[in-house]
Amino acid sequence: MRRRRNGLFAAAVGIAVALWVSADAKLRAHPPGGRVMVEAEGTGPDVVLIPGLMSTPAVFEDTMSSLRIARHEVTAKGFGGTEAPDDLSAFVEPLANDLAAYLRSEEVEEAVLVGHSMGGVAAMLTAGRSRRISHVVIVDSVPFLAGLFNPNATPDGAAGSRELQRRQLDTLSPEAWLGMAKQGLSRQAMTEESQSKVFADVQTADTAAAKTAFLELMTTDYSAAFQKVDVPVTVLVPFDPSIGFPREAVLSRYEAQYRDMTNVEFRVIEPSRHFIMLDAPDAFRKEIERVLEGEL
């Protein structure tokens, strides 16, 4: 393990906010009142697990718990039943700032960042501002999310729609927001058990925080920020033959998003949907092992 496990982080920030403690792990905020809650445990290569929108590290548990690694499990404030940040003018960029600060405070070196969806964006933003990272694994994420859903979308058009989308989101009650999330569960994971896991996290998320993050992701093109990353990047692409789209057509949409980057490889995981780690845990684990072993 390439970091000091005990006490440095708390000393650096002056005070640690511990929500619960086990024999080997503590969930701590960085900084107090900040955006990142981290539970660190285990020994071995440092792997930072960054879940997506409204998710918690529980989505990685079945695939990562058996690996001999130093796990840094990240919960974004506002998700997993944690209190949302006071300032919700932005979400993803401040999250990346605090992730970079966490790595620096804990003296983590050569970390592998594993980010799902929103967590993939946060991982890339963090990698663009920290030299403490050796590899980024992106789990079903792209720099311009609106363009993945609509090939005709443009960055200017997405940014120009921000205020309209904000007003539309503001009209949704927490109950309506949850209802929309529930309707989309079949696109998130393949089995009812996995869908239930996803929705369990959704129900613990702060609605205002989730809306802020969603709006930011849907109206921002992060391509320029992604291009600053100079470490290897592995993009895991989900593919479910039952959706009716050819494998090559699905892959080409992801490749187009990263066309200006030269340090990227794509790995299609079949069959799986958005939560690859839930739908294909063995394949997901093997991809992480492959990255850790340098078999690229």
Centroid of chain to Cα 2: 22
Bridging pattern class, strands 133-139 and 70-76:
unpaired
The token pair at 21 is 């403690």
**Cα–Cα distance, 168 to 170 (Å, whole number):** 5
For β-strands 133-139 and 36-41, DSSP reports them as unpaired
Cα 224 to Cα 125: distance, rounded to the nearest angstrom: 10
Identify the pLDDT of residue 31. 61
| Whether 236 contacts 273, CB under 8 Å | no
CA–CA dist 222, 208 (Å, integer): 22
- Does pTM top 0.85 for this prediction? yes
Residue labelled with tokens 């070196």:
109
- Asked whether the predicted pLDDT for residue 22 surpasses 90, the reply is no
The CA distances from residue 35 to 96, 114, 128, 273, in Å, are 9, 18, 18, 28
Give the whole-number percent of the chain exceeding pLDDT 70: 88
- Tell me how far apart the alpha carbons of residues 233 and 261 are, in angstroms, rounded to a whole number: 9
Strands 36-41, 70-76: pairing is antiparallel
Distance of CA 184 to the CA centre of its chain: 19
Concatenate the DSSP letters of all residues of 220-235 into one string: ---HHHHTT--S-EEE
| For the chain, counts of helices (H) and of strands (E) | 15, 8
| The one-letter amino acid at 84 | A
- For 59-80, the pLDDT digits (tens) are 999 999 899 999 999 999 999 9
Distance of CA 49 to the CA centre of its chain: 7
For 201, the token pair is 């996290």
Q: Which of 15-29, 105-119, 238-252 has the lowest mean pLDDT?
A: 15-29
Q: What is the pLDDT of residue 34?
A: 72
| Domains of the chain in sequence order | 8-292 (3.40.50.1820)
Q: How far apart are CA 172 and CA 50, in angstroms?
A: 27
Average pLDDT over every residue of 267-280:
98
pLDDT digits (tens, 9 = 90+) for 187-234: 999 999 999 999 999 999 999 999 999 999 999 999 999 999 999 999
Q: Phi and psi of 97, rounded to 5°? A: -60, -45
